[in-house]
């Protein structure tokens, strides 16, 4: 019986979100809050492993009270239990402070039921860092396996997992000890249309919500804004690409033309910031 925990986050749907023109940050009121798309695949993979090996799927999130909706979505996909840590003290957390807080919650969950595997999405679509998953693994001192696009086998008795990690030009097969932490690519699975009983369960579901005071051994200086060393220097919207040129003619001549254009762009080959 496996116990898989998926760490998930509610994010503004960046496909429709608008940027605040003054601060260049996402205007959260402009977009519906959704379950981070990568995380839906993380939860789905956990549910598939449960179907394959038997066990329990738990989801964990840190967020404000409305994030309960994201947990309900996970229950629709097939999660059994949901936990949420929610407290003002967590507000303003960067990836370092977030992974700290989630790790404390994972400790508490593992006291209820030992954890075999943790799955996270590859990254969130509002932050795009992909640091929280590896951060948790580092803090728990378990192997992080990033960019996983296939789980070949989980052998609980033997204490090992075999997965495929996506590379730029293929994949590598990695064997790890258990417990370990995976961050998954979208292509790892397709999330099917959820069955009616899951929807009904989800609509009624109330997750367990913990405040900081419910967690053990917490160093409050490592939480929220206080525990976040990240400094955002400035934020800007990338300029829309302009101009460009459509090359004509047969493919070979197009390649030649392209090479000519590229080679003339000296700035592409200059070494920036290096010692002279």
Partner 1 sequence: MPDKFDVIVVGAGPAGISCAYHLAKSGVNVILIERGEYPGSKNVMGGVLYRKMMDDIIPGFYKEAPLERPIVEQRFMMLDKESALTFGYKGLEWAEEPYNNFTVLRAKFDQWFASKAEAEGALLINETVVLECIVEDGRVIGVRTDRPDGEIYADVVVLADGVNSLLAKQLGFHKEFKPNEVALATMEILKLDKAIIEDRFNLEPNQGCTIEIFGDATKGILGTGFLYTNKDTLSIGVGTLLSGLIKHKIKPYELLEYVKNHPMIKPYIKGSEPQEYLAHLIPEGGYHSMPKIVGNGVIVVGDAAQLVNAIHREGSNMAMTSGILAAETILLAKMTGDYSENMLDHYRMKLMDSFVGKDLKKYKDATHHFDKFPQYFEKYIPLMNQAASQMFTVDGSSKKEKQNKIWKDIGSAGEKMKIARDLVRAWRVMK
- Which residues contact partner 1 by CB under 8 A? 32, 192-197, 199-200, 203-204
Closest approach of partner 1 to the CB of residue 24, in Å = 22
Closest approach of partner 1 to the CB of residue 29, in Å = 12
Closest approach of partner 1 to the CB of residue 197, in Å = 6
Closest approach of partner 1 to the CB of residue 253, in Å = 44
Our CB check for partner 1 shows the closer of 54 and 192 to be 192
Closest approach of partner 1 to the CB of residue 203, in Å = 5
Our CB check for partner 1 shows the closer of 195 and 249 to be 195
* Nearest Cα to Cα of residue 222 among 129, 130, 100, 92: 100
Our CB check for partner 1 shows the closer of 34 and 102 to be 34
Our CB check for partner 1 shows the closer of 203 and 247 to be 203
Our CB check for partner 1 shows the closer of 199 and 212 to be 199
The Cα 227–Cα 232 span in angstroms is 15
Closest approach of partner 1 to the CB of residue 271, in Å = 47
Our CB check for partner 1 shows the closer of 196 and 246 to be 196
Closest approach of partner 1 to the CB of residue 276, in Å = 53
User: What HEC string does the chain produce?
Assistant: CEEEEEEECEEECCCCCEECCCCCCEEHHHCCEEECHHHHHHHHHHHHHHHHHCEEEEEEEECCHHHHHHHHHHHHHCCCEEEEECCHHHCCCCHHHHHHHHHHHHHHHHHHCCCCEEEEECCCCCCCCCCHHHHHHHHHCCCEEEEEEEEEEEECCCCEEEEEEEECCEEEEEEEECCEEEEECHHHCCCCCCCHHHHHHHHHCCCEEECHHHCCCCCHHHCCCCCCCCCCCCCCCCCCCCCCCCCCCCHHHHHHHHHHHHHHCHHHCCCCCCCC
Our CB check for partner 1 shows the closer of 22 and 204 to be 204
């Amino acid at each position: 019986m496996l116990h898989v925990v998926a760490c998930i986050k509610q994010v503004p749907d960046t496909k429709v979100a608008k940027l605040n023109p003054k601060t260049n940050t996402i205007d959260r009121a402009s977009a519906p809050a959704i379950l981070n798309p990568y995380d839906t695949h993380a939860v789905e993979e956990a549910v598939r492993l449960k179907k394959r090996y038997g066990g329990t799927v738990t989801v964990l999130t840190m967020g404000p009270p409305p994030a309960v909706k994201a947990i309900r979505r996970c229950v629709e996909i097939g999660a059994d239990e949901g936990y949420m840590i929610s407290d003002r003290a967590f507000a303003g957390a960067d990836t370092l402070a977030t992974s700290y807080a989630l790790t404390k919650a994972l400790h508490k969950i593992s006291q209820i039921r030992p954890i075999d595997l943790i799955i996270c999405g590859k990254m969130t679509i509002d932050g795009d860092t992909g640091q929280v998953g590896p951060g948790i693994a580092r803090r728990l001192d378990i192997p992080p396996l990033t960019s996983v696009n296939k789980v070949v086998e989980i052998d609980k008795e033997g204490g090992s997992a075999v997965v495929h990690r996506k590379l730029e030009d293929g994949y590598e097969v990695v064997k790890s000890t258990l417990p370990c932490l995976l961050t998954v690519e979208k292509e790892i699975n397709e999330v099917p249309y959820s069955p009616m009983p899951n929807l009904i369960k989800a609509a009624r579901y109330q997750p367990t919500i913990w405040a900081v005071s419910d967690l053990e051994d917490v160093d409050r200086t490592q939480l929220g804004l206080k525990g976040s060393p990240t400094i955002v220097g400035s934020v800007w919207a990338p300029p829309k690409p302009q101009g460009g040129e459509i090359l004509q003619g047969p493919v070979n001549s197009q390649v030649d033309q392209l090479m000519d254009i590229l080679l003339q762009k000296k700035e592409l080959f200059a070494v920036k910031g290096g010692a002279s």
